[in-house]
Amino acid sequence: MPVSADSSRRTGTSSLDAPPWVAMYHSVGDCSDDPYRVTVSPERLDRQLGWLRRHGLRGVCVRDLLAARARGQGRDLVGLTFDDGYADFVEAALPLLRHHGFGATLFVLPGRLGGDNAWDPRGPRKPLLDERGIRTAAACEGVEVGSHGLTHVDLTKADDTVLHAEVAKSRAVLSELIGAHVDGFCYPYGTVDRRVADAVRDAGYGYGCAIDPGPLTGPYALPRLHVGERDTSVRLFLKHKLHRLRRRPVEAVR
């Protein structure tokens, strides 16, 4: 069964009454050693982006998605996010996004520039973007660069000093690095509570991305759906439908 921008009109409901669909990716590359299932192969990503396009949907950065919804538009838009700032975003994901005419939000860790995913104890080690790589991504049309904190820690367990550094300092460092306003924040591990969401708002971000924030769902705790190597066309369709059924409406960022 196809999913299209007109499906809500046929059922008599508005797609803007449903929460935005935001897909969560991480690394794009070799999936042979992937204990955390955070990697999607370039071939699978290409097919997934093609599926969106064939069904009348267009991948965009979260900032553009929310801005469109604030204008009463965006029925055909899907937010595409890539967490952690892996170097393979520039090498593998960007060419595919360009091929399909899509945009995306890349969440990076300015405290681990040129490092690796040391927070994953089971590995494998994957290189992260350095300053040049982040600037390259930020210069691409349709690509938004946001903060994933400084070093990838669970902010719900951080004291006030660490929380301020991970949220506010990371925004300042990243803004200077790319020479542009940083609007988006992504909670490491997807964990968020009221204190952390308030810190993100107070730091000047326009929105925050989580995974399944429950009662906190809103502009500073946007729900997302993981998309990985196992997600075929059928699974993408089911995830799209289940997301619309499970998630509450999210107030647009103005």
* ∠ CA 170-23-188, rounded to 5°: 30
Q: Higher pLDDT residue, 10 or 15?
A: 15
**Which tens digit of pLDDT belongs to each residue from 125-183?**
999 999 999 999 999 999 999 999 999 999 999 999 999 999 999 999 999 999 999 99
Residue 15 confidence (pLDDT): 46
Compute the distance between CA of residue 47 and CA of residue 85 in angstroms, rounded to an integer: 22
Q: What average pLDDT does this structure show over 216-233?
A: 94
Residue 18 confidence (pLDDT): 65
Give the DSSP per-residue string, 15-63: GGGSPPPEEEE-EES--SS-TT--EE-HHHHHHHHHHHHHTT-EEE-HH
Q: What average pLDDT does this structure show over 88-117?
A: 98
Peptide bond into 124 cis (omega under 30): yes
Window from 4-18, 46-60, 120-134, 199-213 with minimum mean pLDDT: 4-18
- Burial-class residue 176 by CB neighbours within 10 Å (0-12, 13-18, 19+): exposed
Window from 11-20, 100-109, 197-206 with minimum mean pLDDT: 11-20
Q: What average pLDDT does this structure show over 187-215?
A: 97
* % of the chain beyond a pLDDT of 90: 83
| Axis crossing angle, helix 131-138 with helix 170-178, rounded to the nearest 10 | 70
Residue 3 confidence (pLDDT): 40
Q: What average pLDDT does this structure show over 59-78?
A: 96
Q: What average pLDDT does this structure show over 171-198?
A: 98
Residue 9 confidence (pLDDT): 34
pTM of the complete model: 0.90
Residue 240 confidence (pLDDT): 77
